[in-house]
């Protein structure tokens, strides 16, 4: 019996069928499985403006394989457009809205299976969370990455654009130079072209087994992506027939595979928020302490922008995520017997994968580093955790001590950086920007880009209880937990305190004795909530800390 029988079969369902008649559906369509296609299409996100074409292709695939496709929407925020103002408070929080609304639509209308069509930052994890929660046969097909832009013959991307603004503030670029970047770095539709959060999550969707080959890397403008979408529509019908469900795929070992591929690719630090949240919905406890254990044994094989000069189109041409996974199996680093959304195992999926460019995907014998691209830091400044994209940190900043420059919001920090008040050796601390303190845990691409653009990327660190864009680079340590809003040690830092960072040792410490910290702790009082009405006020009441994935939890 299909779930959709409860709305399409029997005398009691005659009223339901009358409403399907109003939709123009035929008896033949109602006799087939109903497949929901969750479309994140809109006209404000560049990564989503092509999703209408992807959705049409999915519909064809579902229909060719004997299903009835039905489209419904999911919202999306463009992180780049939301960056640096109140809009960024509304980015991470949409992840849970996307998950919840998809649950509502899928269960209210008794869909038998789903095809998720996301692309940018929060849609991918939000829909993966929904897939795990609903646990009905599901396949993912994203809209694909943007092609890199070109400025003066060099490939460039959105991170270059933000850094150009910092260079202008430092007097290193003219207005005309910035204009050239502005008109060139984002040349096509698609998720921005580096290994930022959207592309990280789309690649990890392949690694965890919920997307078909190429989901993370086929460029948005390539016709191969239309073919991929048709195959996704066909494949979901196979999964329905075989009753292969998301929780069959997204088990504990699959999440360990995803963490391993994450380390090899050098993904965004935001994956350390999203993977635990997806795991939570799948009934898996993903302790972030595992990340360092996996990092210690996983070589970093890719340096895509912002860590290096290669882009998603280069990763695609080099063999994509499957080629990276094939390299990792040479050191027996992946579980290869796990079932995936292809209907085959991981090992079967990657059996024929080939690394076509050892400069883009380093062989395991010649990695960029013997350890992974991310590191979880702990210490008296981050008792629970902090996260850094190790692969995007210059060697001279892997170990650093400097005086704290303390700011209680992002805007004050940006003004100080662009005003020339931050100097080599400083450690910029931006607090009260965590999940509760923000509320919404804003990304800090503007301050990190300003630091890089002003030539301070090799001498200034930035620490925050907020988070970073995947486009951020440098010694940028985010997700510091517990956050300032709940009285975490980051709330006790004072101007001029010495902060010690040792990324190789995974340490983040405040060089202040415990007696003085105890005195400050006794004097600390919580700040008044920044928002008292609307969704953000409700979110602030329910959200947990960054080290738990900023999941929502009823107290």
Active site residues: 469
Ordered DSSP codes for 414-456: HHHHHTT---TT-EEEE-S-STTTTTS--B-HHHHHHHHHTT-
Q: Hey, which residues does 154 pair with through a beta bridge?
A: 151
The two three-digit tokens of residue 421, written as one number: 């008040």
Beta strands in 180-243 (DSSP E): none
DSSP structural state of residue 309: S
Q: Hey, which residues does 9 pair with through a beta bridge?
A: none
The two three-digit tokens of residue 334, written as one number: 């992946």
Contact at 8 Å (CB) between 469 and 161? Answer: no
Closest-CA residue to 299 (of 372, 394, 203): 372
Closest-CA residue to 234 (of 142, 137, 144, 110): 137
Q: What is the rounded distance in angstroms from the CA atom of residue 106 to the CA atom of residue 35?
A: 9
Q: What is the rounded distance in angstroms from the CA atom of residue 245 to the CA atom of residue 139?
A: 10
Q: What is the rounded distance in angstroms from the CA atom of residue 90 to the CA atom of residue 92?
A: 6
Cβ-in-10-Å burial (0-12, 13-18, 19+) of 10 comes to exposed
DSSP structural state of residue 385: E
Q: What is the CA radius of gyration of the chain?
A: 23
145-173 burial, b at 16+ Cβ within 10 Å, e below that, comes to bbbbbebeeebbbbbbbbbbbbbbbbeeb
**Strand (E) or helix (H) holding 242:** helix 223-242
Q: Hey, which residues does 151 pair with through a beta bridge?
A: 154
The two three-digit tokens of residue 291, written as one number: 């990340």
Output the 3-class SS for 468-528.
CCCCCCCCEEEEEECCHHHCCHHHHCCCCCEEEEECCCCEEEECCCHHHHHHHHHHCCCCC
């Amino acid at each position: 019996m299909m779930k959709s029988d409860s709305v399409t079969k029997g005398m009691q369902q005659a009223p339901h069928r009358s409403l399907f008649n109003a939709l123009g559906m035929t008896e033949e369509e109602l006799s087939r499985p109903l497949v929901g296609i969750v479309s994140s299409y809109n006209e404000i996100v560049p990564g989503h403006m092509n999703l209408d074409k992807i959705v049409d292709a999915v519909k064809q695939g579902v229909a060719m394989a004997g299903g009835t496709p039905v489209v419904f929407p999911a919202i999306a925020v463009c992180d780049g457009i939301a960056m640096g103002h109140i809009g960024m408070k509304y980015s991470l929080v949409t992840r849970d809205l996307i998950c919840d609304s998809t649950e509502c639509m899928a269960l209210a209308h008794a869909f038998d299976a789903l095809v998720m069509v996301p692309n940018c930052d929060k849609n991918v994890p939000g829909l993966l969370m929904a897939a795990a929660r609903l646990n009905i046969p599901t396949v993912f097909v994203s809209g694909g990455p943007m092609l890199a832009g070109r400025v003066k013959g060099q490939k460039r991307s959105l991170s270059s654009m933000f850094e150009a603004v910092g260079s202008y503030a430092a007097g290193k670029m003219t207005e005309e130079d910035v204009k050239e970047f502005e008109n060139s770095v984002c040349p096509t539709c698609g998720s921005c072209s580096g290994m930022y959060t959207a592309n990280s999550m789309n690649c990890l969707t392949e690694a965890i087994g919920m997307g078909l080959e190429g989901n993370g890397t086929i460029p948005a403008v390539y016709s191969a992506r239309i073919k991929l979408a048709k195959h996704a529509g066909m494949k979901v019908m196979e999964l329905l027939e075989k009753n292969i469900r998301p929780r069959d795929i997204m088990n504990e070992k699959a999440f360990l595979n995803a963490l391993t591929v994450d380390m090899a690719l050098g993904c965004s630090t935001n994956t350390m928020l999203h993977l635990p949240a997806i795991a939570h919905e799948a009934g898996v406890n993903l302790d972030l302490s595992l990340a360092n254990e996996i990092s210690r044994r996983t070589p970093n094989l890719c340096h895509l922008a912002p860590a290096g000069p290669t882009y998603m189109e280069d990763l695609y041409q080099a063999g994509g995520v499957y080629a990276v996974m094939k390299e990792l199996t040479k050191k027996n680093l992946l579980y290869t017997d796990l079932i995936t959304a292809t209907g085959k195992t991981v090992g079967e999926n990657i059996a024929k994968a080939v690394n076509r460019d050892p400069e883009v995907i380093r062989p395991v014998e010649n990695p960029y580093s013997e350890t992974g691209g991310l590191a979880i830091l702990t210490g008296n400044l981050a008792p629970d955790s902090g996260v850094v994209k190790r692969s995007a940190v210059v060697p001279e900043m892997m170990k650093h001590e400097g005086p704290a420059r303390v700011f209680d919001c992002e805007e004050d920090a940006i003004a100080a950086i662009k005003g020339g008040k931050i100097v080599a050796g400083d450690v910029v601390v931006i607090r009260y920007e965590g999940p509760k303190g923000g509320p919404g845990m804003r990304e800090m691409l503007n301050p990190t880009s300003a630091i890089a653009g002003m030539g301070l990327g090799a001498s200034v660190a930035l620490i925050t209880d907020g988070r970073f864009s995947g486009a951020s680079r440098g010694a940028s340590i985010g997700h510091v937990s517990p956050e300032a809003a709940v009285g975490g040690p980051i709330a006790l830092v004072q101007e001029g305190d010495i902060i010690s960072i040792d990324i190789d040792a995974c340490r983040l410490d405040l060089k202040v004795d415990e007696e003085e910290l105890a005195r400050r702790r006794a004097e600390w009082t919580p700040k008044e909530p920044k928002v008292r009405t609307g969704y953000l006020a409700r979110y602030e009441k329910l959200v947990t800390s960054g080290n738990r994935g900023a999941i929502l939890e009823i107290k």
